[in-house]
Structure 1
Amino acid sequence: MIKGVGITTIWTLDQERTKTFFTEKLGMELRTDMSMGDSRWVTVGAKDQPEFELALMRPDGHGVDPESARALTELVTKGVIGGGALRTDDCRGDYETFRARGVEFLQEPKERPYGIEAVFRDDNGNWYSLTERNEELDLSKEWA
């Protein structure tokens, strides 16, 4: 039986630069940084969520065929890949902190039916929702 999600992939063209982005600009912690044959395994995660990691993976590693690696590199370069939603308890405060650290925002914090959301890009162009969820939100109901 599946117990939850442990690791998800973030595509990067430069693992060292992306590791720095996530640890220094977003304040995540480095979990793993080791060589695995011809590739490198780098993971980061939120300090308060030890059971979940983001694997910072190059498209040309870990068994990705050359044609797929080229396609992934092109998509990352275009900035069309979404990296998911990162939860926060202070979207506006984190927006100001991250912006001061040089994070590129596509959308400043806005009220949404589910809470407050800002959208930013990482150093590769992948985009993320930074979301402060509304505590009164009833996820069993459809949004209008």
Structure 2
Amino acid sequence: DFDPDVAQFGVQPETFVWTDAGRQRRYTPDIRLETVGGEVIYRQVKLATRLAADPTLGGRLRAIEAECAARGARHEMWLDTDIRRQPRLSNARRLRATVAVLAAENHHAIHTIITRLPFPSNLGAAAEALGG
């Protein structure tokens, strides 16, 4: 939400299924995003220690990248150590604070505010109406 190059994104958007050596393999990306320029990127978030222990993701990384390419997209691997550095760290903190506001006890107030917005509206207008 805070990256000006991102037009839209979805969490665990789809599952890729393919056959490898007679076995059915599956992979669900963590994030699918589309940039304002129309590029599609599938992102996977991994612990750096886990990736270091298994850099091919059980032999699936090459197939995952091929599945992304077949969809006209690219694959990115983000490590927990990357997310803990700026600017991603401040973005993650802002997202965490935003999610806290979405707690069940705030749903009625949020609904009231959002239904009063003119439509169509954008995310910036909604954020401003909800107090940033």
Give the structure with the larger helix fraction. 2
Same fold (TM over 0.5): no
Which protein is richer in strand relative to its size? 1
Instruction: Identify the structure with bigger relative contact order (alpha carbons < 8 Å, sequence gap 6+).
Output: 1
